[in-house]
Amino acid sequence: MGSDPAGLNRRPGHELAAGLRAGDFSSLELTDVHLAAAERDNRGLHAWLTIDAEGARAQAAAADAALVAARRDGPVAVAALPPLHGLPVALKDLVSVEGGQCTAGSRILEGYRSPYDAHITERLRTAGAVILGKTNMDEFAMGSSTEHSAYGPTSNPWDLDRVPGGSSGGSAVAVAAFHAPFGIGTDTGGSIRQPAALCGIVGMKPTYGRVSRYGIVAFASSLDQVGPFARDSRDAATLLHAVAGRDERDSTSAPVPVPDRLLALAASDDAAAGLLRGKRLGLPREYFVAGMEPGVEARVREAVAALEAAGAVVEEVSLPHTDYGLATYYIVAPAEASANLARYDGIRYGPGMRDGDTLANVLATRGRGFGAEVKRRIMLGTYALSAGYYDAFYLKAQKVRTLIKADFDRLWADGFDALVAPTSPTVAFRFGARLADPVSMYLSDACTLPVNMAGLPGVSIPCGLSEGMPVGLQLIGAPWTEAELFELARGYEALTADAAWRTVEPTDLARAGDPDGPTPMDRAAALAGAA
């Protein structure tokens, strides 16, 4: 093998794809390197709920066989292989994989095995990707820290005493900790972008309808969207290209072509940086929220200055209904969740109580199977939809949602190419710091959830460190402009390619591999005891 196997999992996906095609290593060798890292670190990080080593190796062997056949047919056949062919991917544990577990981080789905593949799973199989397993998440994607998983929290590889963000914390950590070059998450109010920011990687929430939700466990159906994690914009764009597109089984899946520009981001730093020249970017003043950490604001404003130095035009703008976004979201999302989660009754899915009459069994099953945060949101949502309160809460929230979208539409009509903003107002916080105060936890998504309310695409990219922890820069675009956002992200990566912070790996990763070290649950309990 022409490459050091110990370094393979540090390389970006597009380099791994080139190495596979050149025969420098096999998909099986690549898969084994990533599996070894995931299995070594999972005690300390708890990023994975299940690692399917046998299934992953079988998929890798099939990818290698296809590579051998393509080489026999010549360079054109090798070049025609999909970009993800033979490369490892981590899936959030609400993505259906035929025959595999799909718990959505909840005890109420413990033991459930999916009878079919989600649409994106089908797409990944067609692309020849290797699915390594399923990652940890906040229960039913309700949370901003992955502390609400029924199976225990996940640690941030930059500091094992801190959260990775959520709800897609497991997938974000799997990518940040070099367990996989690609990861899949879902974003309802920031659940891809916020953990991407807190873990120092790239994460995109696409336009609502860009990726099919068929086979994805639902939280809030008008807000949920599947999206990619990666360690750079080129890889994230490649993963989005693979899973996006119309699916007749999902009525919200849009018949909008997936642009091949996603596969053509500039490889040259000079060319990429040149794409920023003349771009008109808005800087929403409302996104610099009260309580934002000074170090976070400093890194974001430094990034904005770098964009201006590269020729972008940055203008301060206002999104006046932003302040209503949090309240609006926490009416709409729980209302939709209360309807979606009504199906979990112990009869059709997962374990159920069988000791009383039907109603008593259903109540007991839901009481035992759902965690505290899920129960909280079901109660909020049911109340908002109840007779006498529907008009006062849910209907009014939908009207405000229209106003939030109109704020963005006005800026697109004014000719802005994108908006630039913080992703999270803080760096990763310590375990337990916000569990006793749900409102402070909800504020973690203050900069991300308006994008979901408006159905827009948004991407978070690393923009430096504050007190040794990653900070994320968010780029927000008009509907269906994912390729343009990734071009801007790639341009910023080019500008900062030589920045010292780009050479820093997650600083607590070595401790995560200690076989005798504490688990994230141990750490969380110790911090709670100290408090």
* Segments making up each domain of the chain, as ranges: 27-246+275-323+401-530, 324-399
Task: Give the pLDDT score at 2.
Answer: 40
Task: Give the pLDDT score at 189.
Answer: 97
Secondary structure of residue 418 in the 3-state scheme: strand
Q: Would you state the structure tokens that stand for residue 330, as one six-digit string?
A: 């926490």
Q: Does the annotation mark 27 as catalytic?
A: no
**pLDDT average per 10 residues of sequence, the chain (531 residues):** 66 97 96 98 98 98 98 96 98 98 97 96 98 98 97 98 98 98 98 98 98 98 98 98 98 97 95 95 94 96 98 98 94 96 88 83 92 96 92 94 98 98 97 84 87 98 98 98 98 97 96 95 90 63
Sequence-distant (6+) residues with CB within 8 A of 176 are: 157, 158, 164, 199, 200, 201, 231, 506
Q: Order of strands, edge to edge, in the sheet holding 202-205?
A: 48-51, 130-135, 88-92, 182-187, 225-230, 202-205, 458-466, 469-476, 418-422, 280-284, 313-317
- Among the listed residues 106, 144, 171, 191, the single catalytic one is 191
- Among the listed residues 106, 155, 167, 253, the single catalytic one is 167
Q: Does the annotation mark 205 as catalytic?
A: no
List phi, psi (to 5°) of 515. -65, -15
Q: Would you state the structure tokens that stand for residue 158, as one six-digit string?
A: 């930059």
Q: Would you state the structure tokens that stand for residue 82, as one six-digit string?
A: 């999909």
Query: Taking the complete model, does pTM exceed 0.95, yes or no?
Result: yes
- Among the listed residues 92, 134, 205, 279, the single catalytic one is 92
What is the rounded CA–CA span in Å between residue 172 and residue 192? Answer: 8
* Residue (of 277, 375, 288, 355) closest to 323 by Cα position: 288
Q: Would you state the structure tokens that stand for residue 212, as one six-digit string?
A: 């099919």
Look at the domain 27-246+275-323+401-530 and name its fold. Amidase signature (AS) enzymes (3.90.1300)
What is the rounded CA–CA span in Å between residue 20 and residue 11? Answer: 12
Q: Does the annotation mark 92 as catalytic?
A: yes
What is the rounded CA–CA span in Å between residue 204 and residue 266? Answer: 18
CA 292 from chain center: how many Å? 22
Sequence-distant (6+) residues with CB within 8 A of 492 are: 276, 303, 306, 307, 461, 463, 473
Is residue 171 within 8 A of residue 406, CB to CB? The reply is no
Q: Would you state the structure tokens that stand for residue 504, as one six-digit string?
A: 């820093």
